[in-house]
Structure formats: structure tokens, C-alpha cells
Chains A and B, each alone.
Chain A
């Protein structure tokens, strides 16, 4: 049986990339919870994962140094969140509790992927060393 790292890890490496990026977007929301006019954003996980899996970076090759690099911007589409309540007067649409819960859930899912990878790696190690260190 051939050991394939691609197959062994499944979609988890890509999922972790998206979770990582989503953690950043949620942290931005939390940091800007008191900023007037700031709109809460989030990543469409399903779509971002599909993009990451198909490695559809949408990168254009740059033949001149003044060309814009538009590679990764389309990879993780951030979208504005629909606010749960009407505008409170300062144009800010961050619901801090919602963001904190989303951040916690996101980091738990990240860690779930991590522990999956960890157990996969230790399984592969065991297969490679024959179980006896």
C-alpha cells in the first residue's frame, strides 16, 4: 500500500487555511466593534473551501512591476453580514456576542482539524517505524 500524504490528510489542510483566514476576519470585526460606520464581515466557508480545494487562486501573471497583484483577493470572498437588529445610530453592524461566538466556534473547528491531522501524522509515523519507536 502506498502512503499518499494528499489522501491521508483529506481536505483538512485547505480547511485550516480557510479557518485561519476566517479567524482574521472575525478578529477584525471584534476589534472594530466600536468603530462608527464599520460593517461586520464574514467568509462564506463553503465557497472559500471549494476555491481552496480547486486551487482556484485566479492569479494573473505579472509581466510588469507596476501591474497589480490580484491573486488572492478572489480566493476568500468576504461578504457583509446581515445585521440582526436595525442600525443603532452609528452605522456599525457588529454584534459583539455573535462575533465572539463565531470566533470561538471557528477556533474550535480549527483545532478539530489540527487534532485530526495530529492523529493522522502519528498513524503514519507508526506505519513508517513499524510501531516500535
Chain B
């Protein structure tokens, strides 16, 4: 019955979205983490999604395509360099380095991830109802 596979699919979707939510949370939390060199500065992290088709399943002809997180990449957008000679973390030239994170972008990303997570939950819920009703088929109603 395919309805059982829906739980695997929505489960993989929920995992992927929560990884995305996780990276967003750490981006937002570190948005103001200042450092005194380019190397030590926190950079925005983003999860990369890919459709996952299990080869073992494809052989059997009942493929199901879930989501997997290929990896988490660090953004290579330029860092925000600020001239603040009085800052305790300023380097010898008086510059501090702030992460390349756009808070607005991250907020939008968070909302999108949370909506997608919700959608997956609702899909699993609907699939559960289908299975439950099928199990009760033929019983007194």
C-alpha cells in the first residue's frame, strides 16, 4: 500500500525542512557575532536539498522520491567590514568583521521552512486518515 510510503516521504521532507530551520536559526543567532579577522567570522549557512530516489526501490518498480539534504554550504558573499577603532575586537587597522547575513532574508527563509514543514505534517495527517479509514473498511459504521 502506497499510503505507508507517504510517511517515509513526508518524514524525509520534515527532516530536510528542520535542517533548513536549524541553519536559519544559527544564522539569525550569529547575525551579530563580530570578529577581528576574515577567517574567524561566521558565514551564513544554507542547506542544499536534492530529490532522493532510492536505487534499491527503483529496481522493484515502486519508487518513492523523498528529500535529502546534500549538505550545508557556507555563503561566500562578502563580509560586512566596519571601521570601528574603539571596538574591543577591532584589528590593528581598526576594522571589525560582521557575518554576511541578511536578517530579512533569514526571516523569510524561516517562514518558508516552517510553512513547508506544516504542509508535510498535514500531508502525513491526511495519509493517516486514509489508512485508518481503510483499516476500518467493512466494520460496523
Chain A interface (Cβ within 8 Å of chain B)?
Answer: 16, 20-21, 23-24, 27-28, 30-38, 68-73, 96, 100, 103-104, 107, 110-111, 114, 117-118, 121-122
Contacts and interface: CB of A to CB of B under 8 A. Distances in A.
A114 B136 CA distance: 10
Nearest to A38: B51
A114 B133 contact: yes
Interface of B: 1-3, 5-6, 9-10, 12-13, 16-17, 20, 48-51, 59-62, 64-67, 112-113, 116, 119-120, 122-123, 126-127, 129-130, 133-134, 137-138, 140-141
B137 A117 contact: yes
Contacts of B127: 23, 27, 107
Contact of A31 (B3, B10, B59, B129): B10
Say what secondary structure dominates the interface of chain A. Answer: helix
A114 B140 CA distance: 13
A118 B60 CA distance: 32
Contacts of B133: 111, 114
A28 B138 CA distance: 30
Contacts, number: 107
Say what secondary structure dominates the interface of chain B. Answer: helix
Nearest to B12: A31
A75 to B, nearest CB: 8
A15 to B, nearest CB: 13
7 tightest Cβ-Cβ pairs between the two chains A and B: A31-B13, A24-B2, A73-B61, A72-B61, A121-B138, A35-B49, A27-B6
A35 B61 contact: no
A30 B141 contact: no
